[in-house]
């Protein structure tokens, strides 16, 4: 019968921690390339379906309702509005799919890297056993992306990517623009049905009446379904930003161990600056602001000899000290940290033993 202390230490003795090949240093940035893309069959299929559904809606709006219309002003105005919103929706989807959501460098939990942190006895870091990375606070491992993601909200198959710290803006814009074009399409379908009932069905569309009805009903069903879905997702994401609490944190009912931002500060952090039209621009990248309290991002950057430096994005109040005062931010999540503090009394010898257990 093992004691709780034995169970905790057995976790550190799992093969994942003992095999050096499990935690090889990450490659240099120059060899990685710049595009982020998840090779997941389900996600790729969902992303393609999303684009096809938008293309179908645009086809029905243009060739069934607007082009056959005799009111050229009505057709021109609605055509410009709908296609502009559709373009912004697809651009937002493209950015959400191909933007790194905030992945923690893979395989940086090496002995050399942890020794470079110059930790003192009593200070704890948490290592993800799946991607072999030092796991920042508020980061969670995604089984689809196979990486730990900073401020991960959820993995969305419709954008074939996680929604995290770096791409949440694009996901919010995607849901907003899809909801807007869905609402716009529903309104135009309603007006078109009224117009066709008043006029001859053979003259209100370039297609045969049965074909026109089927196309309009399918568009109405698609628009209604996506209006409900994306409106709920948009509201959920805005609520998460304003409360500074991700979907996973809310689902797990985690007590915050970080300095929470106000609602407006959270919006500025997610959208990359003070309020402006760039908030609605999917082509404007999100720039991190150093004056916001966001001690959550840990990244390993290659320096000479395979040693990696720690980069913590801290707020205006400077370094957050732990109870023993050397590590800038507590990196272990609350649950594991509490377990470590209760079950393992750290001292000079146990810290040296922990370093020996880590792979070379």
CA distances from 127 to 17, 56, 104, 121, 205 (A): 9, 46, 11, 17, 62
pLDDT reading at 318 higher than 80 = no
Q: How far is CA 6 from the centre of its chain?
A: 37
Mean pLDDT calculated for residue range 169-174: 97
* Helix, strand, coil content of the chain in percent (nearest 5): 50, 10, 40
Mean pLDDT of all residues in 223-244: 96
Query: In this structure, what are the phi and psi dihedrals at residue 92, rounded to the nearest 5 degrees?
Result: -65, -40
Q: What pLDDT is recorded for position 353?
A: 43
Instruction: Give the list of residues 6+ apart from residue 5 with CB closer than 8 angstroms, or none.
Output: 343, 344
Confidence (pLDDT) at 201: 74
* pLDDT classification of 46: cutoffs 50, 70, 90: very high
Coil, helix or strand for 272? coil
The CA–CA distances, whole Å, from 191 to 184, 194, 199, 279 equal 11, 5, 12, 32
What phi and psi, each to the nearest 5 degrees, are found at residue 239? -65, -40
pLDDT of residue 206: 81
Grade residue 79 by pLDDT with cuts at 50, 70 and 90.
very high
* pLDDT computed for residue 137 by the predictor: 84
- From CA 93, how far away is CA 281, in angstroms rounded? 12
Higher-pLDDT residue of 32 and 95 is 95
Contact 141, 130 (CB under 8 A): yes
**CA-CA distance, 94 to 47, in Å (whole number)?**
9
Q: How confident is the prediction for the chain on average, in pLDDT?
A: 75
Of 324 and 140, which is predicted with more confidence? 140
- In this prediction, residue 31 carries a pLDDT of 41
pLDDT at 24: 56
pLDDT grade for 149, boundaries at 50, 70 and 90: very high
279-285: long-range contacts at Cβ-Cβ below 8 A with a sequence spacing of 24 or more?
Answer: 279/169, 280/88, 280/173, 282/88, 282/91, 282/92, 282/94, 282/95, 282/170, 282/173, 282/174, 283/91, 283/95
| Confidence class for position 309, pLDDT limits 50, 70, 90 | very low
Spatial separation of the C-alpha atoms in residues 261 and 243, rounded to whole Å: 8
Name the residues annotated as catalytic.
156
Lowest mean pLDDT across 132-136, 183-187, 199-203, 305-309 = 305-309
Question: Do 57 and 219 touch, CB atoms closer than 8 A?
Answer: yes
Most confident segment among 92-106, 192-206, 250-264, 307-321:
92-106
Spatial separation of the C-alpha atoms in residues 41 and 18, rounded to whole Å: 33
């Amino acid at each position: 019968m093992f004691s709780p202390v034995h169970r905790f230490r057995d976790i550190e003795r799992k093969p994942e921690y003992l095999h050096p090949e499990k935690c090889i240093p990450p490659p240099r940035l120059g060899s990685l390339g710049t595009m982020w893309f998840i090779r997941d069959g389900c996600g790729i299929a969902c992303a393609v379906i999303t684009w096809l559904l938008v293309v179908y809606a645009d086809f029905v709006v243009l060739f069934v309702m607007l082009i056959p219309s005799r009111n050229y002003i009505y057709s021109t105005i609605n055509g410009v509005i709908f296609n502009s919103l559709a373009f912004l929706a697809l651009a937002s989807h493209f950015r959400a799919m191909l933007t790194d959501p905030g992945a923690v460098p893979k395989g940086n939990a090496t002995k050399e890297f942890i020794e470079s942190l110059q930790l003192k006895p009593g200070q704890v870091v948490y290592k993800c056993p799946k991607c072999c990375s030092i796991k920042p606070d508020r980061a969670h491992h995604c089984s689809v992306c196979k990486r730990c993601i900073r401020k991960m909200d959820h993995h969305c198959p419709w954008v074939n990517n996680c929604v995290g710290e770096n791409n949440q803006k694009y996901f919010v814009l995607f849901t907003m623009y899809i909801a807007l074009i869905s609402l716009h399409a529903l309104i135009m379908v309603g007006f078109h049905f009224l117009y066709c009932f008043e006029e001859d069905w053979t003259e209100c569309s370039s297609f045969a009446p049965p074909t026109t009805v089927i196309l309009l009903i399918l568009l109405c069903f698609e628009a209604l379904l996506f209006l409900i879905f994306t409106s709920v997702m948009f509201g959920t994401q805005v609520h998460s930003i304003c409360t500074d609490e991700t979907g996973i944190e809310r689902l797990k009912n985690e007590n915050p161990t970080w300095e929470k931002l106000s609602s407006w500060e959270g919006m500025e952090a997610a959208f990359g600056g003070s309020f402006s039209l760039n908030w609605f621009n999917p082509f404007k990248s999100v720039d991190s602001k150093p004056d916001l309290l966001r001690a959550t991002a840990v990244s390993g950057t290659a320096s000479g000899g395979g040693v990696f430096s720690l980069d913590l994005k801290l707020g205006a109040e400077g370094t957050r000290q732990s109870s023993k005062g050397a590590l800038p931010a507590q990196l272990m999540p609350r649950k594991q940290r509490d377990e470590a503090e209760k079950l393992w009394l750290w001292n000079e010898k146990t810290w040296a033993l922990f370093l020996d257990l880590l792979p070379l």
